[in-house]
Amino acid sequence: MKHILHVLGITATGAGLLLACSSAPTSPAPEDSTGATGGGRAGEPATPTVPGATGDGDRMAVASAGVLDSVAAAPPSCAGAPRCQAIDCCESPVVPGGTFAMGRSKVGTDADKDGFVNEVPEHTASVSSFRLDTFEVTVGRFRQFVKAYAGPPAEGVGAHPKVKGTGWSSKWNANMPRKGESLAEFAGQFDCASDVVPWTKDAGRNEKMPMTCVTWYEAFAFGAWDGGRLPTEAEWEYAAAGGAENRMYPWGNAAPTTDLASYECLSDGDPACTHADLPDVGSKPAGNGRWGHRDLGGGAFEWTMDWFDDAWYGGGGSACNDCINTTRPDSDLKIFRGGDFKDGAAFLRATVRLYSPPVFRADNVGFRCARPVRTTR
C-alpha cells in the first residue's frame, strides 16, 4: 500500500520528521516497530442520552427516539447563512450514541496489515449521543471568528458535557492573542509557510475551503465561541467507522478513489500539490460517512480534543466510555484524524491517528465541531 506523508510539508515514509512551522516530529510507527501497552482512562462512564440508541440507528431513528433535532442557538460562524454544497455550512446532525470496536482489528472489517502500531489493540468503546458538524470549518466561518475575536475563551468553556476537566484552561491563554489584539496578525495570517494556504486576508474565492494552518488552541477556541467544541478522538472515530459497522473508511470498505475523497493531491489530476487539490468542503458526497458527514476521509486532517498517548488509546484492550485523554503527557501532542488532501490513501482509514504539538500549524490540518444534543424528554 502506498504510504505518503505530507503532514509536515515534506514527503516521507517513516518516522522522525521535522515540522515546518513548529516543534516535534510526529509520524506513526509501523505496527511491527514497537508494542502498544496498557494505559489509564480519564473519561467518566455515561449513559447514552438517546433512549434505546445503540449506535445502529440513523437520523430517522434518532428523531423517533425523541431527540430534538435542532441546535438551540445558531452558530455565530454561520451568520448570514452561508451554504456549503447547497447545505447549511453549520449543519450538525446527531450521531446516535452507542458502542463500537475502537481501533483497528487484526482480522475484522477494518483490518489492514500495513496499519500503524498506535491503532491497536481494537477495544470496546461507547460514546453518548452528540452532534458532529457535517463539514469541516471553512475559511469563511473562521473569518467570522477572527472578526469577532475578543480574547481567549473563558475558563471551562468548550468542554465535553459529560467529562470534567475538558474545557478551556486559562493556562492556555498565552497561546491566544489578548483581548484587543488581532487574531489574524497573531497567527501570521495563517500562512504557515506553505503554497497551499486557503486563508486570505480579505474574503475571496477560498471562503468555502477548509480552514487550515490553525493551532489546536485556535481550533478549540473557535469551537467554544461557535457554541460547540472539538470532538473527542472516540467520537471522531465512532463517526468515521460508522459505529458498530466498524468501517475501514468513513464511506465503507471500498478502496479510496477521487470520487470518495480528496487525497494525494489528485484532485486536479496532476501530482504537484496546488490550491486545485484542496477542494471546497463537502465536494466528495460519495464519500459521506454513515450519518452524512463529509470529508471525514480526506480534505483536511481534523484536530480532536485528546492528548496523544500511544499506550492510552488501546488501554490494553479495556473498554472506555465517553473517554478522552485529558492527561497532558510529556510528549505534549494532540491528535488529528482522517487523512488529508495531500497524503496517501492509507491515511484515509478510520483508525489512522496522527499527532503534533498543539502549537503546530500545517496547511493540511483543520478541524470540525461537535455540539451538544438536547433531548425533548
Point out which residues bind Ca ion (CB under 5 A). 101, 110, 122, 246, 295, 299-300, 338
CB closer to Ca ion, 65 vs 239: 239
Minimum distance from CB of 105 to Ca ion (Å)?
A: 5
Using a 10 angstrom Cβ sphere, with 0-12 exposed, 13-18 middle and 19 or more buried, the burial of residue 310 is buried
Minimum distance from CB of 170 to Ca ion (Å)?
A: 30
CB closer to Ca ion, 43 vs 299: 299
Distance from chain centroid for Cα 360? 15
From its phi and psi, is residue 52 left (phi > 0), alpha (psi between -120 and 50) or beta?
A: left
CB closer to Ca ion, 122 vs 207: 122
Minimum distance from CB of 5 to Ca ion (Å)?
A: 16
Strand 130-132 relative to strand 370-371: parallel, antiparallel, unpaired?
antiparallel
- CA-nearest of 209, 163, 214, 211 to 188 is 214
Strand 334-337 relative to strand 353-356: parallel, antiparallel, unpaired?
antiparallel
Minimum distance from CB of 3 to Ca ion (Å)?
A: 18
User: Taken in order 26, 248, 213, 163, is the CA torsion positive or negative?
Assistant: negative
CB closer to Ca ion, 104 vs 229: 104
Minimum distance from CB of 180 to Ca ion (Å)?
A: 33
CB closer to Ca ion, 56 vs 155: 56
Distance from chain centroid for Cα 236? 6
Say how far apart CA 238 and CA 55 lie, in whole Å: 9
CB closer to Ca ion, 226 vs 295: 295
In sequence order, the 6+-apart residues with CB closer than 8 A to the CB of 184 are 146, 190, 201
Q: Give the residues across from 298 on adjacent strands.
A: none
Minimum distance from CB of 155 to Ca ion (Å)?
A: 30
Whether the bond between 25 and the residue before it is cis, its omega within 30 degrees of 0, is: no
Minimum distance from CB of 171 to Ca ion (Å)?
A: 29
CB closer to Ca ion, 143 vs 349: 349
